[in-house]
Every structure is written in structure tokens, then in C-alpha cells.
Amino acid sequence: MIHTPVLLKEVIEYLDPKPGSQIIDATLGSGGHAMAIAEKVMPNGKVLGIEWDSELFKQFESKIKSSKFKDRFILINANYRNLKKIAEENNFIGADGILIDLGLSSWHLVGSGRGFSFQKDETLDMRYDRILDIKNKILKIDEEERITAAEIINLWPPEEIEKILKEYGEEKFSRQISKAIVEARKKKPIISTFQLVEAIKDAVPLWYRHRRISFATKTFQALRIAVNDELGNLKEALGQIPDILKKEGRGAVISFHSLEDRIVKNAFKGLEKSGKAQIITKKPIRPSREEIIQNPRSRSAKMRIIEHRI
């Protein structure tokens, strides 16, 4: 599956990359936004592309090696929560723009084999920072030993599972689902996505199973957020944006669920109140009807933008 960058036209419009610009794509993914930005900063601008997932990073690195953009990119395999440090080390303090796209790459759902999708039967892993050396059969973790989704499901007490489902998934049946998970794991460890889906299915009412959005969506979202500390990463990075941008440089964040959007909205309000930045988008920018038809995954996207003022 080809990953379609969300709100691409709007990202280009608001960040307004020009020849010679320095732009940071803090969540590179499959590089859809970054490639379009690289086209705009030609012939002598630069894009600093940051990607936490080493497999996805290597894919993009290989893709641009023979492209006309190969000299436009500085690529860093790291967590964007360390945004300022990465910018300093690569001479990107005073950047013209920063993009943070919080969407899950299509590759994670379709090709990673890590259990991000409830539509495929895979091992419940969900770590972005997993490094797999197939040749030497070595499995390493990039930073600390990050817990997997399977470990949460099988080892955590029911009240802790309920808490993450409620807080990170905003799941109304969090208590029933956590109880069902604990009952299921007593019989057999839950190590695959389909095993987890069955446990969720047993816990929720019939009407909930037949909604447009899958009954498993919120549980999978909550586990992914917990495994990767996604909200912690976001909070850490947002406060660093004004320290990296030049005056009148812009920071754009694309979120995909209410938890992320609330964090972005409140962080931007705080930065505006401090005088460090001005909010450009009083209301978030949403995809057009045409974009949603072409790319249904874009339907929940919201983009907020600030401009550095000091």
C-alpha cells in the first residue's frame, strides 16, 4: 500500500517552503510530505528528516539514494521528542519550518508485522523502536527496553489495563474489556492480534460490534500509545518548537484523535500566552471532502499551526 500524505496541499501552503529554506520533518514516515517539501527547497535548501522506526528509516534512505533529492536531505534515525538536540547537532537551529505528523504510516499497518492492525493476525508487539537484524537473528531495542503490547496484555493487572484503555483509547467499555482480557489470558497467553480481538469481542455489546468504526480500534490505539509513550513524546517536542524556529518560522502539527489534538491545542495556547509564538489557526485545518473520498484515513486529521514571534 502506498502511504498518502495527509493535508499535503495545506502543509505546503502554510509552511511555505522556498528555495534555500531549512525545514524539519520530525516524523518522516514514508516521506510523502518530506519529498514534496524537498521539491520546494531546491536547489540549495535542506530537509532534516527524523524517523524513529529503523526499518521505515532504512526504506526511505534507500528510496532517495538515487533520486534528485539525495543531497537535499539530512536523515536521522531517532525519537522526535529530542527535537532540539537533533536540530542543534545538525545545524537546524533557526529553521524555517517544522512539521510533526502524528499519523500511523500505512506500512506499520500493512507491512511491519508488529501487530498494529487488528485486521491481520500478527504478534502483539507495537514498538516503533524495534531493530530486527534478520541475518544475525538478533532483536534489539533502540533505547530502553520498551515493553510490548503482549506484555501489557498478559502481565499488567486489570485496573492498569483498564486505565490505559480509558485514558489513551477513550474506550467506554474499558472495564469490561480489561476483565475479558484477564479471563482469556488465564486460559492461554494472548500473544496475537486475533486473540486480542476475540477477547474484546466477548466483552462488548452486540451493537458496539457493528458500528462503522471497529470495536477493536480504541483498544489497539490505547496499547500503541502506551507501548511507545506517544503522548509523552508529543508533549516533550511541542515545547521545543520555538527554540528551533527562526522568527516568523512556522510549526505545524497534524493529529488524528482528540487526545493528541487537545495536547497540541493547549501547548500552542501556552506558547502564545508566553509571547513565544502566535497561533495561526484559530480552528484546526481539516481535510477537504475530496481528500477524504480519495484517502478515508485522512477523515480524522486536524492540523494546527503556530508562528515563532521572538
pLDDT tens per residue across span 108-147: 888 899 999 999 999 999 999 875 433 333 344 444 467 9
Report the alpha-carbon distance of residue 38 to residue 72 in Å, rounded: 6
- pLDDT score for 2: 52
Nearest to 191 by CA among 149, 130, 150: 150
Dump pLDDT digits (tens) for 141-195.
Answer: 444 467 999 999 999 999 999 999 999 999 999 999 999 999 999 999 999 999 9
Does residue 235 contact residue 266 with C-beta atoms inside 8 Å?
no
What is the per-residue pLDDT for 132? 45
Q: What is the pLDDT of residues 294-306, one digit of tens each?
A: 999 899 999 999 9
Task: For residue 306, report the phi and psi dihedrals to the nearest 5 degrees.
Answer: -120, 160
Is residue 20 scored above 60 in pLDDT? yes
CB distance 216 to 197 below 8 Å: yes
> Of 224, 217, 57, 202, nearest to 124 (Cα)?
224
Q: What is the pLDDT of residues 244-264, one digit of tens each?
A: 999 999 999 999 999 999 999
Mean pLDDT of the chain: 93
pLDDT for res 129: 85
- What are residue 253's phi and psi, to 5 degrees? -125, 125
- Sign of the four-CA dihedral 49, 53, 54, 55: negative
The tally of CA atoms less than 13 A away on the side-chain side of residue 230 is 27
Fold match between 8-107+231-308 and 117-228? no
Q: How far is CA 45 from the centre of its chain?
A: 25
Q: In this predicted structure, what is the pLDDT of residue 141?
A: 42
C-alpha cell, 94: 533557526
| Average pLDDT of the residues in 229-256 | 97
Is the confidence at residue 212, as pLDDT, over 60?
yes
- Give how far Cα 219 sits from Cα of 8, 139, 263, 277, Å: 29, 26, 20, 35
Window from 31-35, 95-99, 136-140 with minimum mean pLDDT: 136-140
Q: How far is CA 199 from CA 39, 62, 179, in A?
A: 47, 40, 9
CA-based end-to-end distance of the chain: 42
Show me where the domains of the chain are located: 8-107+231-308, 117-228
Q: Which residues neighbour 90 within 8 Å (Cβ) at sequence distance 6 or greater? A: 48, 74, 76
Provide CATH code, domain 117-228: 1.10.150.170
* pLDDT at 297 (0 to 100): 87
- pLDDT-based confidence at residue 3 (cuts at 50, 70, 90): low
Residue 273, phi then psi, degrees to nearest 5: -65, -35
Superfamily of 8-107+231-308 according to CATH:
Vaccinia Virus protein VP39 (3.40.50.150)
Lowest mean pLDDT among 2-6, 38-42, 100-104: 2-6
Percent of the chain with pLDDT over 90: 87
